Structure 1
């Protein structure tokens, strides 16, 4: 770990059945400015439990970046301890609960299908089938990228996939959290993300007082791995931007 002039800590929150490898391509640029930690949710099977586990080992104040499910965990951290979050970055995520009706049923069935495949044939087989859907079309032919994703997902226990699915099923509505944020926020979306489309994140932007929204071309649901140079540059800007201590949300709402 490098020494830092500033005692900034940034905590990176991985998505579903992801780990440090999902953030690895962008960690090095950040280490020049901050102590970088990547969270491990352990056996937690709720977003609130994951948030509490991160808070338990976090410093008094920190910057926070969350990808996909990790963005959900980040919003729960902001619900539980907003005064501890100096700045927030949400990547390829959303703020609404599981949809009702057919859309919700389809989501549940798709995730249970992933779980059944993982149980019957192993996590690597599930990862091989699922990973291409996470990438922009032009990136699906990048064998090194696909291999890295399959290795990452393949080493997760089936029980962890089950825990993450359970957490996602019960995800709360975080609209109130976004409206209450007073810290600076950056949103990053992949232009070709079919799981968490940029249009969804645009609605999130409308709820947040101090917000920068970036859409990355030729990028799907895994921006840090698909476009690491672009994401790394954005995160450096986010992490080093001055924070106005007088930033306070007004009563206006979107």
Structure 2
């Protein structure tokens, strides 16, 4: 039976963010990419709601000892889930994760519905602005045209900013890989180094000429590093 791999996207992410990882690992892993219910209406704290969703998803699919990989907000969810359910996670991989500090200027959208502004903010995510494809910009733009979705985005960003994981990181013994862009402007390199210092069983790999989403910007290098970590 294949080991399961759970891929968790960020605040503006989607399933396509993980295409490179899926193509590289799908023959050997049972890959799950749950769509985080960021836009659901609920009465819980937004981040807690996402962690609860992941708990239910893992239970429903009877996943055990999964490799859990999270980008940005997805990393934050992965940290909280792993801390609460270490028996369910064999290895944890974080890239551009929130939880310590995040410069999430996309969370406010002062120019909601302005296409060129959205293109600029999406490009800000990457070291190479060309990575912000027309399809990706259009996907984010459509979200911003919906007032309720924008409200959920802002609420979730604020929830993540309130939830600092500093205290729980030293308690986590799960082998953890940190893959970080040296040019990440949203979760800067100092965040990666602090994660590395606080997580007792962690390894940090910094990628030059790379921004907030290494699995999209440098997919081959990302997969090579991940491959090495998984076979140790």
TM-score bin, normalised by smaller chain: 0.7 to 0.9
TM-score relative to the length of structure 2: 0.84
User: Would the alpha carbon gap of residues 126 and 53 (structure 1) be closer, same or farther in structure 2, given more than 3 Å must change?
Assistant: farther
The answer as to whether partners of 1:188 and 1:214 remain within 8 angstroms in 2 is yes
**Cα deviation code 1:146-197 (max 9, x no counterpart):** 3242134235463344323212212211113321111110001101111111
Aligned: 1:128 with 2:119: yes
Q: Which residue number in structure 1 is paired with residue 13 of structure 2?
A: 18
- Deviation of 1:61 (Å): 3.0
Aligned: 1:186 with 2:177: yes
Q: Which residue number in structure 2 is paired with residue 103 of structure 1?
A: none
Tell me the distance in 1 between the aligned counterparts of 2:215 and 2:124.
16
Q: Which residue number in structure 1 is paired with residue 23 of structure 2?
A: 28
- Deviation of 1:133 (Å): 0.9
In angstroms, what is the RMSD of aligned CA positions? 2.3
The answer as to whether partners of 1:195 and 1:221 remain within 8 angstroms in 2 is yes
Aligned: 1:219 with 2:223: no
Tell me the distance in 2 between the aligned counterparts of 1:180 and 1:27.
30
Greater Cα offset, 157-166 or 41-50: 157-166
User: Would the alpha carbon gap of residues 20 and 112 (structure 1) be closer, same or farther in structure 2, given more than 3 Å must change?
Assistant: closer
Tell me the distance in 2 between the aligned counterparts of 1:112 and 1:10.
28
Gaps of 5+ in 1: 1-5, 99-106, 242-254
- Deviation of 1:134 (Å): 0.9
- Deviation of 1:97 (Å): 6.3
**Cα deviation code 1:228-251 (max 9, x no counterpart):** 11111122223333xxxxxxxxxx
**Cα deviation code 1:108-146 (max 9, x no counterpart):** 8x45641x433xx26x5553131121111xx12x2x643
User: Would the alpha carbon gap of residues 112 and 185 (structure 1) be closer, same or farther in structure 2, given more than 3 Å must change?
Assistant: closer
Q: Which residue number in structure 2 is paired with residue 56 of structure 1?
A: 56
Gaps of 5+ in 2: none
Greater Cα offset, 72-81 or 185-194: 72-81
- Deviation of 1:88 (Å): 0.2
Q: Which residue number in structure 2 is paired with residue 39 of structure 1?
A: 34
- Spell out the pairing of 1:128-207 with structure 2 (5 A cutoff): 128-136=119-127, 139-140=128-129, 142=130, 145-156=132-143, 158=146, 159-171=148-160, 172-207=163-198
Q: Which has the larger radius of gyration?
A: 1
TM-score relative to the length of structure 1: 0.77
The answer as to whether partners of 1:94 and 1:196 remain within 8 angstroms in 2 is yes
What's the secondary structure of 1:94's corresponding residue? coil
